Structure 1
């Protein structure tokens, strides 16, 4: 491990606007299509969308339909380029610190999560995320909430990739009892946790309410490990966040997380506890 960020974040791109790059790459891929130059109408037909959508995307106007980047990558055989640019464009709607955290998250080979209040964003259902975002900003419009939910769920694409990170999550038991929205919302979220636990690269454990006090009792934290095995810690609080890189502080936090893992219930008992809470919501 090291406390330098050079291995995480390379030099700045020549064009740091991913939305603009998306537009340029789409036009270029269309015009340089191997068999023949495609028109916007041709591209729309292949992508099962409208010509006006392709035209709008190439002019850099409006949002990118979330289902379209993967389709474009398949059509043009661009090895995830459009999907990556889409994710970067979505991330731009977040504050600078959150954008940096999401960039690190996309490169991580391992992600550890400690959460004492809510299910971490990487594991949230759309309804659960919506309930959190509505509570967090009650004045937000429906369109703003929908956009925020979509952006949050986009982060979860890393779990479905060809080489997903190893994810280890410790949840405070209080997370299972804290209802957000209708009972069905919480039931759906608990069911999603059980589904995640079946995945070989995702481990979820529950820390009992009677566990002893610990170093991270006042905040939740995420540990992101790069391919170089360097780790940073992201700590979030009300309307603020911090990325800790100092080696000594990172190691202390890692030891605290390992202690939490030791205090948490084993995977099978954690699953039983989640299932029991689901049954109470029937």
Structure 2
């Protein structure tokens, strides 16, 4: 039964990928005032003809930056961005898809992580080391697909209207070596760079902070355009979405408590930099 689920999921990814390819070829050939060749389109979006060819024949991954450029050049009003998000969404197990949808549409994201750097801020090497450690028998193609899907989520941070993102990490996240010192240095540098973005704040909760409701699990709070907040709690091979108002209020209160105990952003950046410099 497990294999059937995997096959069904792969079929869904293939279908979404094929739709992206067909829409791209159609938009290119029907472009006004004249059709565009693969070479001409590649020049306009700043990529290679071979990349456009691979996308149209469903070979390899779709470069994360390509959909927005296609929408701009072809005047498709966000169509390729939406199609790409569907490809990414279907690459995750169905259990996680609502979480991914909440993430894509959120105007504010609050994250707490007691163990690892959250996916929105992971580097490719860090994501690869994490996945290979959790799925040691995974082949290189599977690892590459996972890393690509993980990094694709980060496009929401580079859009025209990125969400407000607030991340609080346990200090142990900085000290836990998931990969070589070079991998950890690059990951910590990425955290420092992320904290300099105007819509993104990174704080560190010291190891001697008091216990709290979220001590055991990573928790994400998503706030929608209608200012409704949903709470996502992740555990081994499962994810729970909580919308019940009393529980949401409790989660928001807990997040505020964590934030108040965490180091201020500037002190958090200093601690991250110190840990980065200590890696040899």
Q: TM-score, normalised by structure 2?
A: 0.87
| Equivalent position of 2:62 in the other structure | 65
Contact 1:64/1:86, CA 8 A, preserved across alignment: no
| Equivalent position of 2:206 in the other structure | 208
Structure 1: distance between partners of 2:139 and 2:67: 26
1:121 maps onto 2:116 in alignment: no
Shift of 1:63: 4.2
1:101 maps onto 2:91 in alignment: no
Shift of 1:108: 0.4
Structure 1: distance between partners of 2:186 and 2:18: 37
Aligned length: 264
| Equivalent position of 2:12 in the other structure | none
CA 1:52–1:153: 2 relative to 1, 3 Å: closer
Shift of 1:58: 4.4
Contact 2:39/2:48, CA 8 A, preserved across alignment: no
Structure 1: distance between partners of 2:94 and 2:256: 29
Shift of 1:171: 0.5
- Residue 177 (structure 1) aligned to one of 170, 175, 179: 175
Instruction: Give unpaired runs (5+ residues) of structure 2.
Output: 1-14
Q: Secondary structure at the match of 2:268?
A: helix
Contact 2:55/2:62, CA 8 A, preserved across alignment: no
- Residue 86 (structure 1) aligned to one of 81, 84, 87: 84
| Equivalent position of 1:10 in the other structure | none
CA 1:58–1:281: 2 relative to 1, 3 Å: closer
Q: TM-score, normalised by structure 1?
A: 0.87
Q: Flag the structure with higher helix content.
A: 2
Structure 1: distance between partners of 2:75 and 2:212: 49
1:114-136 deviation digits (Å, cap 9, x = unpaired): 00000100011111111101111
Which has the higher relative contact order, 1 or 2, with Cα contacts under 8 A spaced 6 or more apart? 1
Structure 2: distance between partners of 1:198 and 1:252: 30
Structure 1: distance between partners of 2:227 and 2:70: 33
Instruction: Give unpaired runs (5+ residues) of structure 1.
Output: 1-16
Shift of 1:280: 1.0
Q: Secondary structure at the match of 2:263?
A: coil
Q: Secondary structure at the match of 1:241?
A: strand
Shift of 1:277: 0.7
